[in-house]
Structure 1
Amino acid sequence: MYANLWVLVALSIWWRRARQHFSIDAPRMAVRARLPWPWRAVVGVALLTIVAGMWWWGFDFGQIFGGFNRKDLETKLTTLETAEEQLRAEAVSLRIRSSELESELAMTRGARTTLSKQALELQNENSQLKEELVFLQKLVADSNKTVGLSIQRLAVERERDDAWRYSLLVVRGGNPVVDFDGQMVLQVAIAPPPGASAPFRQPSLTLPDDQPETAAALKLKFKYYQRVEGTFRVLPGAQLRSVTARAFESGQGSPRASRNLVFP
């Protein structure tokens, strides 16, 4: 019964609306002109801009509300980039400083090595001077007893494979009045290098005749004593048999003193 009643009510409402729509009491209709297409394009672009702005605004706010802030992140990135540049600059400065310290350390080590070498050389020279002082004191005491010229010491040692160094001391005893003026002459007997099969071309050497550049070192000009030192050249690997040193006075053909050194 109630179902039939509801059906009748619905039909009555529908009939009333349909009659109102098609009768003279229907709602008025308005006729409007359509917008030109340029205006419609402008309106469309404006709507799209508004929609995009609303979307971006909502996206930013959604990130902020969700705990993600783009501006804060950009600020942090800028801060990190600045800190990175500072660290890079500090790293470059530290590298330069490290290189400077390494150079200073190398210079310090080199200077220390040089100073140690010089100290050792000075120590050896000091010891040698002390020995020579004792020797000269004894020599002076003995020279007062012996009048004349003498060669008190003769030493020869290899300096390089093709060079030998000599050192000798010429002493004049008594109480001389004028300086002694003369020349030393060295006669060197040379042996071939061990194992040499070819004929040896340098069995002997006379200085300074065979090597004129040694004449200045062999010049004698002194009153009481003179140390004579120098080097002479030989064939590479050659050995010495003996060295004879003779002291000649200027204008004299016979030696005033001589000394011989034989090598084993």
Structure 2
Amino acid sequence: MPQTLRALGRRLRQTFGISAPRMAVRTRLSWRWRAFALLGGLALIAGMWWWGFDFGQFLGGFNRSAVAEKQARLEADAATLKDENIRLRAKLAELESELNVTHGAQTTLSRQALDLQNENTQMKEELAFLRKLFSDTGKPGTVTIQRLTAEKDRDDVYRFSMLVVRGGNPSDEFSGQLTLLANVAAGGHNSTLTLPDDQPDTAPALLLKFKYYQRVEGTFRVPNGAQLKSLQARVVEPGQATPKATRSLNLT
């Protein structure tokens, strides 16, 4: 009996005594709570990492807000410079257009000035010629043809010019008409054109009415492919068969 009690006491000590094995009471969590806990832990770790990164940049002299402000200022400056560039390009195009207009006007004025200078020189030469001509003219009533010219103006068209001058110091006007005899060659054959009879549209240019002198200019047509060989001008008074003056021009 005493042995049995001792054995029972020893078993109780082994079970509930200091040397008894430890027991752990654990609460069983579902997988949802475990997932939430895991995500929360990861978020906490990421936040701590980001805070540490930002704090490390701050300690290293890097200020994110200052950089963002500087970037915004640089973007604003770039936009301003872009607008200024567009404005300057438009101004440059306007100035180039004005320069082209000015250059064109200067070119036109230079050409007009040169034409006027040439015309002035020609008028001076003609004035000197007329003075000499009047001083050398014969007795009053004589008529002469001076400076007879003829040149090709375009295909099958020739331009002529001459100066008809009266001698002396006439007091009345001379009235008459010029007659042109144009000798032309085409295809190995020669023919003569009589103006204004063969081309009535030339009659107005051949009418004469002047006191001292008259410049006569005009054009006439020749047959297709024909070449002008010679030209003769005659001054004829109304009702007179004999020419009052004659001048010939040989072009060959």
TM-score bin, normalised by smaller chain: 0.7 to 0.9
CA shift digits 1:175-233 (9 cap, x unpaired): 434322222221111234xxxxxx36883333333333332222212112111112233
1:1-264 aligned at under 5 Å gives the runs: 19=17, 52-143=46-137, 145-192=139-186, 199=187, 203-234=191-222, 238-264=226-252
Q: CA RMSD in A?
A: 3.6
1:52 is displaced (CA, Å) by 4.9
CA shift digits 1:232-251 (9 cap, x unpaired): 33457643211111122344
- Partner of 1:217, secondary structure, is helix
Question: Which blocks of at least 5 consecutive residues in structure 1 are unaligned?
Answer: 1-14, 193-198
Q: How far apart are the structure 2 equivalents of 1:123 and 1:188?
A: 34
1:259 is displaced (CA, Å) by 1.0
Q: Residue type of the partner of 1:223? A: K
Q: How far apart are the structure 2 equivalents of 1:201 and 1:90?
A: 77
1:54 is displaced (CA, Å) by 4.2
Q: How far apart are the structure 2 equivalents of 1:117 and 1:152?
A: 30
TM-score normalised to structure 1 length? 0.70
CA shift digits 1:116-140 (9 cap, x unpaired): 3222222221221111111111222
Q: 2:9 maps to which residue?
A: none
Distance verdict in 2 for CA 1:74–1:30, change over 3 Å:
same
Distance verdict in 2 for CA 1:89–1:206, change over 3 Å:
farther
8 A Cα contact 2:165 2:214, kept in partner: yes
Q: Residue type of the partner of 2:57? A: Q
Distance verdict in 2 for CA 1:146–1:178, change over 3 Å:
closer
Which range moved further: 49-58 or 133-142?
49-58
1:103 is displaced (CA, Å) by 2.5
8 A Cα contact 1:184 1:246, kept in partner: yes
8 A Cα contact 2:134 2:168, kept in partner: no
Q: How far apart are the structure 2 equivalents of 1:131 and 1:217?
A: 24
Q: How far apart are the structure 2 equivalents of 1:116 and 1:204?
A: 44
8 A Cα contact 1:214 1:232, kept in partner: yes
TM-score normalised to structure 2 length? 0.73
Q: How far apart are the structure 1 equivalents of 2:188 and 2:73?
A: 85
- Partner of 2:248, secondary structure, is strand
CA shift digits 1:68-114 (9 cap, x unpaired): 43323322322222222223223323332332333233333323332
Distance verdict in 2 for CA 1:213–1:82, change over 3 Å:
farther
Q: How far apart are the structure 2 equivalents of 1:91 and 1:243?
A: 69
Which range moved further: 230-239 or 163-172?
230-239
8 A Cα contact 2:140 2:170, kept in partner: no
8 A Cα contact 1:202 1:235, kept in partner: no
Q: 1:12 maps to which residue?
A: none
1:154 is displaced (CA, Å) by 0.9
Question: Which blocks of at least 5 consecutive residues in structure 2 are unaligned?
Answer: 1-12
Q: How far apart are the structure 1 equivalents of 2:171 and 2:91?
A: 68
- Partner of 2:204, secondary structure, is coil
